[in-house]
Structure 1
Amino acid sequence: MKKTLLMIALVTSFTAQANNKQELNKIESFSLLKKKGKYAIMVQNKTMLISSIITGEEMLKNNSKAHFEIVLIASVVKDIAEDNELKEIMKKANEIGIKFTSCEFAMNKLGVKKNQYLDFVQTTPNAFIYLFELQEKGFNQIIL
């Protein structure tokens, strides 16, 4: 009987320790973000654009005062001009506060005109310089 109780106590103890360890390894991903944080992601392709939009939606859902901007370079510059499904995704993202800025250098190289974009898409002569400017303004950045 003592051995059985000892075994039950040991199993319970190990189970509790395992559960505590799992909880310690879990990170509260939004708890460390600033209430009025500034975030910018530079993206090159459609897949990364969609992933960035999902990230922005999640961040703004948990922190509506944050500023979230996606800077567009390379092939995605042409994708957002031609892909109507992508335009709809971007329109919904913009409605919740995600900003979009496209690189004019890439637009020129790919034959894209500003009038092919939705009205809310801003442009900048050089996306890399623009990203440096955002950094100077205190934006946290990721380049994908």
Structure 2
Amino acid sequence: MKTIFYSTVVIVMTLFTSCSSLAQTTIDTNKNNYVVLTKKVPQLEPIILTAEALKDEDGSNFGQFEVIICGKEIGDITDSSKMKDFIARAENANVQLVACGFSLNKFKVDITKVPKEMKTVENGILYNFQLQKKGFKSLSL
């Protein structure tokens, strides 16, 4: 029984390590990569404007730009009247919108109502630190 348990743990850890290294290879560290952590949907307006300006300024050196939304107002992301314009502008500016799964769970937001264009991560704060370790410039609002 112990052998099966330890074998399973080793296999899972091997898969996790393989997946982690795959994710790391998709980030071009020679480019300017950005991450912003925000707690309020209306802040997406100036964040996306900033992403658009940086994309123009950086030119071919513009890499990834991710915006992590977390906190007690996370439920606002399920309101299509608030989100549809932000989602369209984010897509045009190559900005990835990310929902914090921890916040979604804590504030009992129906995960099925999260816009399909958004990525969901288990823990937004941890994800932010992981991106910083990969060289992303970070800002929290």
TM-score computed with the length of structure 2 as normaliser: 0.69
85 and 61 in structure 1: CA distance in 2 versus 1, 3 angstrom threshold: farther
2:125 aligns to what?
Answer: 128
The equivalent residue for 1:78 is 75
Question: Is residue 62 of structure 1 aligned with residue 57 of structure 2?
Answer: yes
Contact 1:35 1:63 in 2 (8 A): no
1:53-101 CA distance string (max 9 Å, x none): 1111221233353211101111442111114232222222123200111
My pick for the range that moved more, 79-88 or 117-126, is 79-88
Q: Which deviates further from its counterpart, 105-114 or 118-127? A: 105-114
8 A contact 2:37–2:139 mirrored in 1: yes
Compare CA radii of gyration and give the structure with the larger one. 1
Contact 1:43 1:76 in 2 (8 A): no
Q: Which moved more, 1:109-118 or 1:37-46?
A: 109-118
1:90-129, aligned counterparts within 5 Å?
90-129=87-126
User: Which stretches in structure 1 are left out of the alignment for 5+ residues?
Assistant: 1-33
- The whole-number CA distance in structure 2 between the counterparts of 1:69 and 1:140 is 10
- Cα deviation for residue 35 of structure 1 reads 7.5
Aligned 1:15-54 pairs, distance under 5 A: 36-54=31-49
Q: Flag the 1:76–1:66 CA change in 2: closer, same or farther, 3 A.
A: farther
Secondary structure at 1:69's aligned position in 2?
Answer: strand
CA contact (8 A) 2:37 2:68 kept: yes
- Structure 2 vs 1, CA of residues 49 and 76 (structure 1 numbering), >3 Å: closer, same or farther? farther
The count of corresponding residues between Structure 1 and Structure 2 is 111
In the superposition, the TM-score normalised over structure 1's length comes to 0.68
Partner SS state of residue 63, structure 1: helix
C-alpha RMSD over aligned residues = 2.0
Ranges in structure 2 where 5+ consecutive residues have no aligned partner: 1-28
